[in-house]
Structure 1
Amino acid sequence: MTWKDSLKNNVNNVEKLKAFIRISPEEERDYEKITKHFPISSTTYYLNLIDPEDPSDPIRKMAIPSIGEFDMDGDFDTSGESQNTKMQGLQHKYTTTALLLSTNKCAMYCRHCFRKRLVGTNTSETLDFIKEAVAYIRDHKEINNVLITGGDSFLLENEMIEAYLQELITIDHLDFIRFGTRTPVVFPERIYSDQNLLGLLSKYSKLKRIYVVTQFNHPNELTDEAVRSVQSLLDHNIIVNNQTVLLKGVNDNSETLATLINRLVKNGISPYYIFQCRPVKGVKNQFQVPLDEAYDIVENAKKLMHGHSKRIKFCMSHETGKIEIVGKFNNEMLFKYHQSKYEENYGRIFSVKLDANQAWLKPENVVNN
């Protein structure tokens, strides 16, 4: 059975969910309403990680719908992606980086997804689109790296992945290519069982450095199978980085967070960022942790980490740029632009006196006075 055959067994309705968790009649009614707006889909592998006796299980929170998804406080496009879209499927927000939205497909629809507005919609995967996007990148010599994401870029057919690589490796001013994927976490067999995929990644990594950027959010996700998928990438000369999202009820605990990051390093995965959860509609009030509390969680976690784990940066992907949450000083919180949409903000340090329970920076907080 191939990985595509396995995906056919995905749990994509409430009735199928009953095989994995207990669902009350009231929950069933709520889930049916939610999934009409925000679809459900998960691999059986990932659902089997849930403790069915624990309603607060962290894997359950990331995979199973909640009535809180009807809370429309927030925004669907918190990072201004629409403003930075140059053509279908291509974003260019930061000077040196191009982002390719290669597909809207995922092996598992995360309930905290910041692209919730796109989940489950149709996507166009054509070579014509690739060539148009590559032409843009070729013409913009300031771009030195590309992130192929989605959705999940490893849900593309191998032929499509190779089509991207064939085009991108011919651009001299690109230093490296990244694939954004959660398949090592939610669908590891996609990687370790597919020698064709591993072979083509190995082939092209000799011509242009390839990175995989994934998202482990809880130690329970680092199963033997997940580690096997990561090791198969490492064995084929692919560097694996991780971006964790700080999520209420999942990893908003210093010991949990430190355990996760230390285990990532132990298994050859380089911790990259811890991200503040974005204020997305249907996500914000379920998963966001107030900034003041979030900063303390991350700092206390660092006390339990070794040097390699402490390379992480705690950031938010704001509309104006990637902003690092640096520290506290005189009842204010310090921030620094790690990446910026606007040149004048590069490296700028600023402070904000936060409102009670404030979990995101407001437009007036980031004005350069």
Structure 2
Amino acid sequence: MLWQNELHHNITTIEELSKYYHFTEDEKNKLNRLLEQFPMSITRYYLSLINKDDPHDPIARIAVPSLQEFHLEGSFDTSGEKENTKVVGLQHKYAQTALILSTNQCASYCRHCFRRRLVGLSGDEIMKRFDAIENYVAEHKEINNILISGGDSLCQDNHMIKRYLDTFSKMEHLDFIRFGTRIPVVFPQRIINDPELVTMFREYNNIKPIYIVTHFNHPREITKESTLAVKLLRDAGIIVKNQTVLLKGVNDDADTLAQLLQGLTRIGVVPYYIFQCRPVCGVKTQFQIPLALGYDIVEKAKAQQNGQGKCLKYIMSHQSGKIEITGKIDDTHLMMKYHQSKDPSQYGITYIKELPVDETWLKEDHL
């Protein structure tokens, strides 16, 4: 079966989900209203990872909608993506990196998604403007890498992925190409059953280095299937890195996070960032944890790692830049550093920030 056809069997309605979970009629009605705004899609594979007898199952928290999503405290654009959009489908926030939102579709929708305002839309409009994207990158020589994201960049057909590879591998001022994808985690069959994709990556990797940046959040996501998908990419010469989001009820426990990091290095995935969950509408109250607590969890998890597993950074992807939480003086005083900055003059600045003990994000007026 073609991978595209497999996705047609995703769980996308509350009626389908009711075969696995019991909902009252009132819950069904409310969840149906919720899905009108925030769609649901769960691959059959990812559904199989859920322990349906556990009402607090961490994989379910990632994929199964909750009535808590009606709490719309927060923002739909927490890092200023709109203001950084230079061409439809292309953002340029940091000088060296161009971010391309190649599609707004994913194999499985995460309930903590920070781009949930865009979920489910097609990437066709982006491809119609591909020439404008190509011209922008070609004209801005300060850009030395491309991040092709979404949605999920590997939810596109191979010919569309090839167009990105063919175009950007020819630009001499680009050092490498990155693909942001959760496919190895939620739908590894896309890679396992598509040798054409793997061959294409291998061929273009010989022209320009290719990185896959994926998104494992829990140790139970590391399965024989996801391990095989990673192995196929690595055998093709692709470097696979991981960005985890710190999520309440999923990985906000040092031992759980430590097991995840150990599992990643074991299968050859490089831990890269641990992101503070963003204060997105419908996400903030359900998934965010305080920054001070997050720092403790990350440090305790890192203490259980070898050198490779200690290379990650605890990061807040803020409107003003990527802010690394580097230290803790006490529960209300954190040390922070601009790991990346929209304003070049702020890059590398380190400062101590006084915050309430339960603060989960830096407000704009805190900067």
**TM-score grouping bracket, smaller chain normalisation:** over 0.9
In structure 1, how many angstroms separate the alpha carbons of the residues matched to 2:175 and 2:55? 46
Question: Is contact 2:334-2:352 (8 Å) kept?
Answer: yes
The answer for the alignment partner of 2:364 in structure 1 is 363
C-alpha separation in 1, matches of 2:131 and 2:198: 24
Q: 1:38 maps to which residue? A: 38
Residue 170 (structure 1) shift: 1.1
- The answer to whether 1:279 aligns with 2:254 is no
Once the two structures are TM-superposed, the CA of residue 18 in structure 1 deviates from its matched residue by 2.2
Q: What's the CA shift for 1:53?
A: 0.6
AA of the residue aligned to 2:280: V
The aligned counterpart of 1:182 is 182
What is the alpha-carbon distance in structure 2 between the residues aligned to residue 21 and residue 127 of structure 1? 39
- Aligned partners of 2:88 and 2:126 also within 8 Å: no
AA in 2 matched with 1:201: F
Tell me the equivalent position of 2:97. 97
Q: Is 1:260–2:260 an aligned residue pair?
A: yes
Segments of 5+ residues of structure 1 without an aligned counterpart are: none
Alignment of 1:347 onto 2:344: no
Residues 258 and 302 in structure 2, CA contact (< 8 A), matched pair in contact too: yes
Aligned to 1:335: 336
Amino acid at match of 2:312: I
> Comparing 250-259 with 114-123, which one deviates more in the overlay?
114-123
- For 1:126 and 1:295, locate their aligned partners in 2 and report how far apart those are by CA, in whole Å: 38
Preserved CA contact (<8 Å) 2:149 2:180: yes
Question: TM-score normalised to the size of structure 2?
Answer: 0.98
- The two structures, once aligned, show a CA RMSD in angstroms of 1.1
- Whether contact under 8 Å (1:20, 1:48) holds in the other structure is no
10-19 vs 250-259, greater mean Cα deviation: 10-19
Deviations 1:45-101 (A, max 9, x none): 101111111110001000000111111110000000001000100000001000000
CA contact (8 A) 2:102 2:126 kept: no
1:125 deviation in Å? 4.7
> 1:158-181: per-residue Cα shift (whole Å, max 9, x none)?
000001111101110100000000
Corresponding letter in the other structure for 2:362: L
1:292 aligns with 2:292: yes
Q: Distance in 1 between matches of 2:191 and 2:24?
A: 36
What does residue range 136-155 of structure 1 map to in structure 2 within 5 Å?
A: 136-155=136-155
Q: What percent identity do the matched residue pairs reach?
A: 51
Q: Is the 8 A contact 1:131 1:167 kept in 2?
A: no
Q: How far did 1:127 drift?
A: 4.6
What amino acid sits opposite 1:340 in the alignment?
Answer: S
CA contact (8 A) 1:332 1:351 kept: yes
Letter in structure 1 aligned against 2:239: I
How is 1:9-20 mapped onto 2 (pairs within 5 angstroms)?
9-20=9-20
